[in-house]
Structure 1
């Protein structure tokens, strides 16, 4: 018995999870699945018309030029920067101006635009959700424990 999936970091690291969700979404698009819908701007991934948005525009292993392009398209938007391998809100900050990210990059020992194996901390950046679902006025997350008894066929219990 094991208490972790092999290669679990493919889902637990922010950058790799985004990469895998986008890859899965591309597969759904190839199959013309209704689950492959996006919102009218093409930026938010949906799980069908009734399920709503589940992933705002997110850039893993940040492509600086793509980020600048998105920031210029909607200059009043706020973005959230998160280190890929940290938890509990450590290292997270909000930006809404390009000058802020340039200043942070100069003053930081980490580099914003690096791949995970470069020895420096990699970051992901996402559009900030201005009006998130709150419980008692506070953000929340769900910690779920899942028992997987078989991969083929997949059988799991929460």
Structure 2
């Protein structure tokens, strides 16, 4: 069996596939796995054979883009109630919800609230900033703005996040495998609201 690899920096994946007995197949239909860095076009999924797999699922941007993820969260909250979906802070997608955001901002009884602004499709902290002035809001692109959590869970005073790896092999029925190992990332400095106010592309 063969594999296709169209991802520039995937030497580890290539090594594992070769060690497993698969051979490279850059052309033709004789492959069982296609590994790519970017989301393939929709037609790539439509012509898959039963034995072929791609390391993405269709429309995955609906979960990986912050604006789309919030839209689905808001829809589920509307459907099942706020009591079941109350684990994300108040969020707005601009420019579509700019009017609603300004109404909350101006009418807020908590003028000291911090708001964090993020590009919808960036990663690794790029483009993130704490809103200090309305003039800082992007005017030529969309953004996601959320109330900043000033009392987060901490480990001995340090912010942290957990990275868990799952493999989704099917949706009907849903079949998900959880990898036993994950990552815990700790901040370099103790958390205070002051450090949050100083946040700039971190």
TM-score by length of 2: 0.55
Among 40, 51, 57, the alignment partner of 2:90 is 57
Higher relative contact order (CA 8 A, sep 6+): 1
Contiguous gaps of at least 5 residues in structure 1: 29-35, 39-45, 48-52, 112-119
CA RMSD in angstroms, aligned pairs only: 1.9
Which residue is equivalent to 1:156? 176
For structure 2, which runs of at least 5 residues remain unmatched after alignment? 1-52, 179-202
Contact 2:66 2:144 in 1 (8 A): yes
> Which ranges of 4 or more aligned residues in structure 1 deviate by more than 3 Å?
none
Structure number with higher strand proportion: 2
2: CA distance, partners of 1:149 / 1:73: 47
Residues 1:79 and 2:115 aligned together: yes
How many positions carry a matched residue from both structures?
Answer: 123
Contact 1:60/1:125, CA 8 A, preserved across alignment: yes
Matches within 5 A, 1:40-119: 46-47=84-85, 53-62=86-95, 63-74=97-108, 75-96=111-132, 100-102=133-135, 104-105=136-137, 110-111=138-139
Correspondences of 1:122-137 after superposition (within 5 Å): 122-137=142-157
